[in-house]
Chains A and B, each alone.
Chain A
Amino acid sequence: MPEHSEHSEHIVSPLIYILIFSALMILTLTTVYAATVDLNEHFAGLNVIVALVIATCKAILVILFFMHAYYSSRRTKLIIISGFFWLAIMLFLTLGDYASRSWDVH
């Protein structure tokens, strides 16, 4: 598998960077607009869900293209995914604990 040529690394073209930047700008506008609309009346907590989904889309675009994860080796991809997996463990287990026990936090 290893390509020993010094030119085998993937060079992302400026056009892709500019497209990603434009997408990020559109998503930023969308998230600001979405916050000014009352979505909670349809479904409690919908506003924050929409905000987080948009933020996650933006983060994925940055990681895949600005940070070249899309073009990186499978080993690097595994490391990246494992990082978010461990973050998910921390978030979900702690929040699960808070949700399922009667903590007296007030």
Chain B
Amino acid sequence: MAFSAVRTEVKEEYRVHRTGELSGQFQTLEQQKESATLGMWTFLITEILFFGGLFLTYTINRHTYPDVFAISSRTIKLSWGAINTVVLIGSSLTMAMSVWSAQVGKKKLVTFFLIATLVLGSVFLGIKGIEYHDKYVEHHIPGLNFDMYYCTNNPGACNLTPEDLAKEKAELEDLQKKVGGEVAVNSHAQLFFSLYFGMTGLHALHMIIGAGLLLWLIIESMRGRFTPQWNSPVENVGLYWHFVDIVWIYLFPLLYLIDRH
């Protein structure tokens, strides 16, 4: 009984093998899929440690200059960050749905959800571009005419309400007394903005790479390549995309939500 069951099973594997879905070095589709997942996670662990170093640097600097970090964080628009969080988590949902579509063999839906993911990812990057432009206008890019006092000294230049400007001015004056002068405020604030641009920039770079991978998946999926038996590229790009989402889940509260009260 058991023997004949094994024989049927082997035959089944050969059938799959001939369709080109099972690579020669694997015995079963299960094993092939698990190897792909395991390999992807191993790569993602190196990514966790890579971003981990940045979060560590951030933590030490924020702990050292808490007040400067709080004021600098408040100059970033909360609404854009919150919208982008929703957009990115939404793109994770569509990515997960494209994996599901591949697993159940709905080939048209795979393409649809991949395109939806790419669109949401592009919206995220577009909003990031608007935010970077705002920071450029406000002279908040380290090394490029950086000046925390630019908006309060030139009330017309930044897109801020008079109340916000008055508040920012009062806060900056308080801070200046605490840390000992404009130079100290500007140099410590540059630390925050270096981390802001470094971390969101690397995150955005990951998104751009992810968008490239999505384009490739969309082309392959239009050719009907992804089946319930073989969909590791969709699954693994999905893992990558969700990882990038997790990085943002931490970046959002740490960069945008310091002492908003």
Q: Which residues of A contact B (CB under 8 A)?
A: 2-4, 6-9, 11-14, 17-18, 21, 24-25, 28, 31-32, 35-38, 40, 47-48, 51-52, 54-55, 58-59, 62-63, 65-68, 72-73, 75-76, 79-80, 82-84, 86-87, 90-91, 94-95, 98, 105-106
Q: Could you list 15 A-B pairs, sorted by A, with CB under 8 Å?
A: A6-B12, A9-B103, A28-B82, A31-B253, A35-B260, A65-B96, A66-B245, A67-B242, A79-B41, A80-B45, A83-B41, A83-B44, A94-B56, A98-B63, A105-B60
* B244-261 contacts to A (CB < 8 Å): 245-246, 249-250, 252-254, 257-261
Contact with A along B100-114 (1 / 0, CB 8 A): 100110000000000
- Residue B239 at the chain A interface, CB threshold 8 Å: yes
Measured between beta carbons, the chain B residues less than 8 angstroms from A14 are: 97, 100
| Residue of B whose beta carbon sits closest to that of A57 | B249
- Residue B64 at the chain A interface, CB threshold 8 Å: yes
The reply to whether A67 and B239 form a contact with Cβ atoms under 8 Å apart is yes
Measured between beta carbons, the chain A residues less than 8 angstroms from B127 are: none
- Residue B1 at the chain A interface, CB threshold 8 Å: no
For the complex of A and B, 3 pairs with smallest distance between CB atoms = A83-B45, A35-B257, A51-B253
Interface size, B (range) = 35 or more
The reply to whether B42 and A79 form a contact with Cβ atoms under 8 Å apart is yes
Of the candidates B33, B42, B60, the one whose C-beta lies within 8 Å of that of A95 is B60
The reply to whether A31 and B257 form a contact with Cβ atoms under 8 Å apart is yes
| Residue of A whose beta carbon sits closest to that of B59 | A95
Q: Which residues of B contact A (CB under 8 A)?
A: 9, 12-13, 16, 28-31, 33-34, 37-38, 41-42, 44-45, 48-49, 52-53, 55-56, 59-60, 63-64, 78, 82, 85-86, 89-90, 92-93, 95-97, 100, 103-104, 228-229, 238-239, 242-243, 245-246, 249-250, 252-254, 257-261
With A17-B100, A21-B90 as known contacts, state yes or no: A62 contacts B261, CB within 8 Å.
Answer: no
The reply to whether A51 and B257 form a contact with Cβ atoms under 8 Å apart is yes
| Residue of A whose beta carbon sits closest to that of B241 | A66
Chain B min CB distance to A51 (Å): 4
Measured between beta carbons, the chain B residues less than 8 angstroms from A91 are: 52, 55-56, 59
Q: Report the bound CA distance from A21 to B41 in whole Å.
A: 22
Chain B min CB distance to A22 (Å): 10
The reply to whether B93 and A18 form a contact with Cβ atoms under 8 Å apart is yes
Q: Report the bound CA distance from A75 to B51 in whole Å.
A: 24
Measured between beta carbons, the chain A residues less than 8 angstroms from B34 are: 73, 75-76
